[in-house]
Homo-oligomer: A and B are copies of this chain.
Amino acid sequence: MKCFVMRKVGEVAVLDKRVPEPGPNEAVVRTTSAMLCSSDVHTVRGAIPVASDVTLGHEAVGTIHALGSAVEGLAEGERVAVGGVTPCFRCEFCQRGLSSQCGGRMMGGARFTVQRDGNLAEYFLVNDAQANLAPIPEALSDHQALYATDMLSTGFVAAEHAELDFGQTVAVFAQGAVGLSATIGCRLRGAGFVIAVESRPERQELARHFGADVIVDHTRCDPVEHILELTDGQGVDAAIEALGTPGTWEATFRVTKPGGRISNVGYHGEVPEPLKIPLEPFGYGMSDKHVHGGLNRGGRERLRRIFRLMEQGRVDPTPMTTHAFGFDEVERAFRMMEAGADGIIKPLIHFGG
C-alpha cells in the first residue's frame, strides 16, 4: 500500500509498505479521505523526533478493513472515523480522564506518526479500536466527519479550557483551522463576545462566518491595546492561543482580566526557548489566572458528540477546506501547506476507489 512518509527532517516521499494486520484489540481501516494538518508540517521541520520513514498524518476516515479478535460492536465494511489522538482508555491516566496524556507519556495519546505510522496511507492501524472508532452517521459526509477527528475536537478543547460562562468575553489568537474551530467552540459554549486576532483577509472572513464578533488585525494595530479598548480597559475573561508563538502566548496574559483563563492549544516546539509569562499581567503570580495547555482527547464518545452537532446543523466546518487533492498529489498538497501557499487552510485528500 502507498504511504506518505517523512524520510528525514525536511524530506517527504510516497513509499510502499505492507498492509498492517490487527492485534486482538486493533483494527485496520481502508482510508477513503484524509486531511493534512499543520502538525505534519511541524513534524517534518523536526519539531518532534520521529522514526525514519514514518507515515505522516492523523486525520482520516475510511471503512473497516479488518478487526482484531477481541473487538466487539463493530463490523468490517463499516464507515468510521478515528480521532487524531487514540488513547488506550485503560491506563491510569486514561482512567483519570487524561486520555491526551495516555500512559503518562507527554502527549501520549498522540500515536499516529509520533509513536507509529500515521494515516496518510491507503490502510492504517488503529489501536484499542473499540474505544477509538466511531461509525459515521449516514447524514454526514466523509468530509464533515474528518473535521471531528482533530480540528473541531482540538478547537473544542481550547474552548473547554477557556471555561466560559454565558455571555463572557474571549479572544482567540490566530484563525487557522484550530483557531477557527476554537471560535466555533466559543460560540457553541455561549460566549457573549468573541474577538478573533488574524491578519489574512480570507481567514478573517471565515472567522466572521464562524461567529467572531470582531476581528483584530495585529498587523494594523497593537492587538493587546486594541483588545483592552474593546473591553473597556478590563480585558477578556479568557484568551486562547492557537498559533504557538512567543508573541501570541505572552499576549494572552496581557489581554485577560484578573481571574481570567489562558487556554493554549498552540504547539510551542519551534522556538527552543522557555515560554515567558510577563510578570505584571500575571499579578506576580497572584492574579488568580489559570493557564491550561491542552491537546485533543480522542475517543469515540467525543467523536459522537461532535458528529451530533454537525448532524443537527449546529456547525458545518467544511468552508475551512480551501483545496482538494487526490492521494497521488499528496506531496504537492504538503508543500503548499508548508509554504502557506494560495491561502491554504485545510486540504482534503481523496483516496481512489
A282 contacts the other chain (CB 8 A): yes
Cβ of B188 and Cβ of A95 under 8 Å apart? no
Q: A193-B312, A289-B293, A305-B167 are in contact. Are A279 and B273 (CB under 8 A)?
A: yes
Q: A167-B309, A192-B314, A268-B279 are in contact. Are A92 and B304 (CB under 8 A)?
A: yes
| Contact call A104/B24, Cβ cutoff below 8 A | no
* B residues near A89, Cβ cutoff 8 Å: 89-90, 94-95
| Bound CA–CA A37/B311 (angstroms) | 36
Q: Which of B90, B104, B257 contacts A128 (CB 8 A)?
A: B90
Contacting residues of chain A (287-322) with chain B, CB-CB under 8 angstroms: 287-295, 299-302, 304-309, 311-312, 314
CB 8 Å contact bits of A221-251 with B (1 = contact, 0 = none): 0000000000000100000010010000110
Chain A residues within 8 Å of B, Cβ to Cβ: 23-25, 47, 69-70, 89-101, 104-108, 128, 130-131, 156, 160, 165-169, 185, 188-190, 192-193, 213, 234, 241, 244, 249-250, 257-259, 264-269, 272-280, 282-295, 299-302, 304-309, 311-312, 314
Decide yes or no: A98 and B288 within 8 Å by CB, A70-B25, A258-B93 being known contacts: yes
| Max chain B C-beta neighbours (<10 A), residue from A89, A258, A274, A299 | A258
Q: Is the CB of A285 within 8 A of B258?
A: no
Q: A284–B267 contact, CB under 8 A?
A: yes
**Taking CB as reference atom, which chain B residue is nearest A154?**
B286
Output the nearest chain B residue to A73 by Cβ-Cβ distance.
B91
Number of copies of this protein chain within its complex: 4
Contact A308 B101 (CB under 8 A): no
Flag if B306 contacts A166 (CB, 8 Å): yes
Min distance, Cβ A290 to any Cβ of chain B, angstroms? 5
Asked whether, in the complex, the Cβ of A292 is within 8 Å of the Cβ of B288, the reply is yes
Q: Across the interface, do A259 and B69 meet the contact criterion of CB distance under 8 Å?
A: no
With A24-B69, A264-B285, A276-B276 in contact, do A309 and B107 touch (Cβ < 8 Å)?
A: no
- Which residues on the B side are within 8 Å of A101 (C-beta)? 257-259, 283, 287-288
Residues of B close to A293: CB separation below 8 A: 282-283, 285-289
Which one of B130, B189, B288 lies within 8 Å of A189 (CB-CB)? B189
Q: Decide yes or no: A257 and B305 within 8 Å by CB, A24-B69, A70-B24 being known contacts.
A: no
Interface pair B279/A275, CB less than 8 Å apart:
yes
Contact partners of A234 in chain B: CB under 8 A: 104
Interface contact B192-A258, CB-CB below 8 Å: no
Q: Is the CB of A284 within 8 A of B258?
A: no
In the complex formed, the residue of B with least CB distance to A259 is B98
Q: Which residue of B lies closest to A267 (CB)?
A: B284
- Residue contact A190 to B188, C-beta cutoff 8 Å: yes
A244 to B301, CA, bound (A): 33
What's the nearest-Cβ distance from chain B to residue A89, in Å?
Answer: 5
**A312 touching B128, Cβ below 8 Å:** no
B contact residues around A104 at 8 Å (CB): 234, 257-258
Give chain B residues whose Cβ lies under 8 Å from the Cβ of A90: 89-90, 128, 130-131
- Across-interface contacts of A94 in B (CB, < 8 A): 89
Taking a contact as CB atoms under 8 Å apart, the answer to whether B295 and A131 are in contact is: no
Residue of B with least CB distance to A290:
B292
